[in-house]
Amino acid sequence: MMIYLDNAATSFPKPNTVLRAMNDFLERAGGNPGRSGHRLSIEAGRIVYDVRETLAELFRARDPLRVIFTLNATHAINLVLRGILRAGDRVVTTSIEHNAVMRPLRALERAGVQLVIVPCARDGTLDLEAMRRTLTRGTRLVVVNHASNVIGTILPIAEMARLAHDVGALVLVDAAQTAGVVPIDIEAMQIDLLAFTGHKGLYGPPGVGGLVIGENVDVAMIEPLMRGGTGSHSEFEEQPDDLPDKFESGTPNGVGIAGLGAGVRFVLERGVDAIRAHEVELTRALIAGLGEIPGVIVHGTRDAELQTATVSFTVTHRRVSEIGLRLDEEFGVLCRVGLHCAPAAHRTIGTFPEGTVRFAPSVFTTRDDIRAAVDAVRRIVQG
């Protein structure tokens, strides 16, 4: 028996349609999209564009050409941070960010960018009044995760975006934990830049993600992270300004993009609202079940409606590494332990440097899986 509860890192299993789409791409359309005029290149280019349209539909973006493919959310975040911020600029973020945000920001801070961090509460929630006080005129960019990868707390993106726009700042949202599992409408939520990855809630393969650039963002202000061949304007040795080519140098991961497209279609067919309802039910059961075990501390809001299906816990006087190892070896429960690449978040919730045990179910997880996982924790703690 295996119960996979590490979907906040990478979703598993993948829908069969994802596997078929990737195999089909390699068998039927393995050409280089946009680089040649023969039938395989044209078919590959059609698949890539179709996936742009599918992603635009998911995120309610009007122009598919403003969907930029990257390796993952980290790549997309770096593209924005490195492309926009310069010495002397002011950037605001929160105290529960992933290292995909914090590491490039710390490097930019050393290069002269002013970094301001708004503290969150121990449950990951954010005081909007504190954010309002922090957002002064001259702030260039606000960078926030949509939901914590450690405790799942969902931040009020639309409200923060309004505050940021009031002072002329752009908003970059890290949606690695929410794309596909929480409804996202970039226009309604006033998101300027949305970074996402394919291998989590979108059920695609690793190695593909993207950036959605809002209609109101002037792409001339963003310098490319890389420059090179795009298949367009090949007579020039300067990077083209056209989208998406400005930010997509080199041969794209066509097979990964094909798999991502199938994953997004799976999400759209299921319905994000239905996926969200299923995960809320599982999260509620996890929080309740773990909370009944003496010695177990569930971190975060402990309210399934206020977080994603990411539940972190610790056990009094027990190492998280021991809990995770025994869950795997004795009960077949696969989860993640430690700091989850987010030391700032663990400092905020009081679990640094030990970290937490993190359970993260998915659309394929059942109530029986949750009951078995909770029972396994109970037996380890009480045994």
251 & 294 share domain: no
90-126 in b/e form (b: 16+ CB < 10 A) is: bbbbbbbbbbbbbbbbeebeeeebbbebbebeebbbb
Percent of the chain having pLDDT more than 90?
Answer: 92
Encoded tokens for 52: 């742009």
Residue 341 annotated among the catalytic residues of the structure: yes
Residue 135 sits in the same domain as residue 125? yes
Q: What is the CATH number of the domain that holds 347?
A: 3.90.1150.10
Q: Say whether both 313 and 365 belong to one domain.
A: yes
For residue 37, what pLDDT is reported? 77
Q: What average pLDDT does range 79-90 have in this prediction?
A: 98
User: Is 173 in the same domain as 118?
Assistant: yes
* pLDDT digits 0-9 by tens, 93-105: 999 999 999 999 9
What is the pLDDT confidence band of residue 23, given thresholds at 50, 70 and 90?
very high
Residues with Cβ within 8 Å of residue 328, at least 6 apart in sequence:
334, 335
Same-domain check for residues 223 and 352: no
Same domain, 313 and 358: yes
Same domain, 219 and 112: yes
Domain count, the chain: 2
pLDDT at 245 over 90: yes
31 pLDDT higher than 90: no
Whether 38 and 8 map to the same domain: the answer is: no
The whole-chain average pLDDT of the chain stands at 96
30 and 117: one domain? yes
122 touches 152 (CB < 8 A): no
Shared domain check, 220 and 77: yes
Of 212, 240, 270, which one is at a domain's C-terminal end?
270
C-alpha distance from residue 379 to each of 298, 326, 375 (Å):
17, 10, 6
Q: Is the pLDDT score of 32 beyond 90?
A: no
Whose tokens are 């950036």? That residue is 211
The model's pLDDT over 179-227, given as tens digits with 9 standing for 90+, comes to 999 999 999 999 999 999 999 999 999 999 999 999 999 999 999 999 9
Q: Which amino acid is at 159?
A: E
Note the pLDDT tens digit of each residue in 109-121: 999 999 999 999 9
Q: Between vectors from CA 19 to CA 16 and to CA 22, what angle results, nearest 5°?
A: 145
Do 290 and 372 lie in one domain? The reply is yes
Mean pLDDT of 314-340: 98
- pLDDT in the model for residue 46: 92
Structure tokens at 316: 């009094």
Of 341, 375, 378, 381, the catalytic one is 341
pLDDT recorded at residue 40: 84
Range of the domain at 337: 3-12+271-382
Q: Verify that 97 and 200 share a domain, yes or no.
A: yes
The domain boundary, picked from 270, 296, 319, lies at 270
Contact 13, 5 (CB under 8 A): no
At residue 244, the pLDDT reads: 97
CATH number of the domain at 113, please. Answer: 3.40.640.10
**The pLDDT value given to residue 78:** 98
Choosing from 231, 254, 270, the residue where a domain stops is 270
DSSP type of residue 16: H
301: closest CA among 292, 312, 293, 290? 312
